[in-house]
Amino acid sequence: MKGMRHAWMGVMALFLVACGGEENAAAAYETDRTVPDVRDVGDRLVIPLGGEPPSLLPLLAGDSGASEVGGHIYQALLTYDADLNLVPQLAARYTISDGGKTITFILRDDVFFSDGVKLTSADVLATFKAITHPETRTPYAGDYLLVSRAEAPDARTFRVHYPEPFVPALSSWAGLTILPAHVLAKTGDFNETSLKDTPLGTGSYTLARWVRGQSITLNRNASSTEVPFIGQLQYKLMPDANTQFMALKKGELDMASLTPLAFSRQTDAPWFKARFNKYSALGNAYTYVGFNLKNPLFEDKRVRQALSYAVDRDGIVAAILFGQGVPMAGIFKPGTWPYNKNLTPYPYDPDKARALLAEAGWADTNGDGVVDKDGAPFTFTLTTNQGNDARLKTAQILQSLFADVGVEMSIKVQEWSALLTNTLQPRTFDAILMGWALGAEPDPYDIWHSSKTAPAEFNMIGYNNPRADALMDKARREFDQTKRQKLLWELQDILHDEQPYLWLYAPNTLMAIHKRIKNVVPAPAGLTYNLPEWWVPQEGHLRDQLAF
């Protein structure tokens, strides 16, 4: 699960199908693969951002907003193409030698940072040193700390050595966005680098303006090797999905995620179909309840299993997602090679839930409808993020389902940055209702390994299982896919039994994009993977007056 984020799902690695006004809409989109005239270059796209990132430096921020915006500003040595194949980006080519223990990258000779300074291997080495510095607060250092030696023997060569073969090694270099060494050198503390607020990269866009709490505006980078056609991207902070939908209908946005209700019931009007294309994605992400395993309430796996049996996943998918999703049983997407096909989601069985709670010592001794143990009632708070209507409604259903088996749950909703800073990082939650988007590399290490529990890291619930750790360690060194699959299947068996998460569902990604935008081509890599190639015919330009 390389590169997983709590994500704005429309830009992640998803398998998308077009759902426009015509049955054969997908075929029609293929005709958009055209090259615009020079007169078509320009216009401004206005895009919603569900939460304000703490910084615009993805290597430090660890949230979807930083990944979304920073992905247009920075580039990596490698990237993924439309079909999720690794291809060179800042690298011109690479070679793997010494039995898989050495990777040599030869950089392109035509790449410049947006301030005019030429990219060299010194920038790659400086970025590597910054992320692996012991004082750097980042959830992404783990893969790079496995490198035994990194070197830049000349201006175009960057080489890394591993003490032993490491399966995700190559894909990890698609996740390290390269930073300018001449800026990094200005501060001794990478955590406080000016790049957090004034990013400087080699990507398709540069930062024009960041109005905190309102918007982030990016300008076209004419010096990039991936010069875009769209002149400006303006991200408007809109945490609430219903607000996004209203803004979309008013013409204030060019694209937006849709709630299942909006997608299924509120976008069939002729005027909407004439203006927007709709897209539905088979979710490469999942929604879950994660238990803080340091909370005594959740230490007993029988309690976690009981709560899982109390959940009607099919009912939630039908009622909340209008069928736009599937119940989940674990950490991998059904139908993919690492997915353990022998697993099924816990069935809805409230009687089994009550029996397990009783077995764990929980009983309603005073008749108030809430089970208790040693005089203390079973009551906890479920925290989720503001602006996700499906999650809020899911929380409300869970509240009712848990009450039915004698567990009292309250709901807390937080704005995204406050959730990150005040709840997730200091681990001050009882349980969280969140989502993970899945990367192309099936590596669950960052989320489930016991070494990844520090405040800035992704094992937020404090999961610790020595056998699970050993399986993940072995899987990272096993190049034979059949053998690696066996290791990952056993890991899933353990997680399925222990239920540190209640895996709920994989929601479809639902989006609408204005039809004036051309070259929107759904692919396994997602919907916006080729955004630099999007364009708008001159007669369709709505915002040639750029925002500053």
pLDDT tens digit sequence for 183-208: 999 988 999 999 999 999 999 999 99
Which pLDDT band, with edges at 50, 70 and 90, does 290 fall under? very high
- Per-residue pLDDT at 7 exceeds 80: no
* pLDDT for res 84: 83
- Per-residue pLDDT at 487 exceeds 60: yes
* pLDDT for res 85: 87
Pick the CATH number of 285-507 from 3.30.565.10, 3.10.105.10, 3.40.47.40, 3.90.1150.10: 3.10.105.10
Put residue 323 in one of left, alpha, beta given phi > 0 → left and psi -120 to 50 → alpha.
left
Query: Could you report the per-residue pLDDT of 224-255, keeping only the tens digit for each?
Result: 999 999 999 999 999 888 899 999 999 999 99
Percent of the chain residues past pLDDT 90, beyond the cut:
78
Tell me the average pLDDT across 268-283: 90
Sign of the Cα torsion 237, 242, 245, 246 reads negative
* CA 383 remoteness from chain centre: 19
What HEC string does 204-239 produce? CEEEEEEECCCEEEEEECCCCCCCCCEEEEEEEECC
Packing angle, helices 313-320 and 389-404, rounded to 10? 140
CA distance 59 to 131: 7
Query: Could you report the per-residue pLDDT of 335-350, keeping only the tens digit for each?
Result: 888 999 999 999 999 9
CATH class label, 75-196: alpha beta
The candidate with the shortest Cα–Cα distance to 251, out of 512, 509, 510, 40, is 512
CA distance 367 to 383: 28
Tell me the average pLDDT across 511-540: 91
* pLDDT for res 547: 54
Query: Could you report the per-residue pLDDT of 367-400, keeping only the tens digit for each?
Result: 999 999 999 999 999 999 998 888 999 999 999 9
Tell me the average pLDDT across 308-333: 96
Query: Where, residue-wise, is CATH 3.10.105.10 in the chain?
Result: 285-507
Query: Could you report the per-residue pLDDT of 494-518, keeping only the tens digit for each?
Result: 999 999 999 999 988 899 999 999 9
Percent of the chain residues past pLDDT 70, beyond the cut:
93
- Per-residue pLDDT at 10 exceeds 50: no
* pLDDT for res 518: 95
Query: Where, residue-wise, is CATH 3.90.76.10 in the chain?
Result: 75-196
* pLDDT for res 8: 29
* pLDDT for res 36: 80
* pLDDT for res 250: 95
CATH class label, 16-53+203-281+513-548: alpha beta
* pLDDT for res 522: 86
- Which one-letter DSSP state was computed for residue 526? B
pLDDT, the chain, mean: 91
Query: Could you report the per-residue pLDDT of 25-78, keeping only the tens digit for each?
Result: 333 344 455 668 887 899 999 999 988 999 999 999 877 889 999 999 999 999
**Structure tokens, 122:** 């010194």
* pLDDT for res 139: 86
Q: Hey, what amino acid is at 390?
A: A
* pLDDT for res 29: 40
- Per-residue pLDDT at 24 exceeds 50: no
CA distance 40 to 306: 59
Classified as helix, coil or strand, 342 is coil
Query: Could you report the per-residue pLDDT of 137-183, keeping only the tens digit for each?
Result: 998 999 999 999 999 999 999 999 999 999 999 999 999 999 999 99
Query: Where, residue-wise, is CATH 3.40.190.10 in the chain?
Result: 16-53+203-281+513-548
* pLDDT for res 23: 32
Query: Could you report the per-residue pLDDT of 98-114, keeping only the tens digit for each?
Result: 989 999 999 999 999 99
Is residue 275 within 8 Å of residue 515, measured between CB atoms? yes
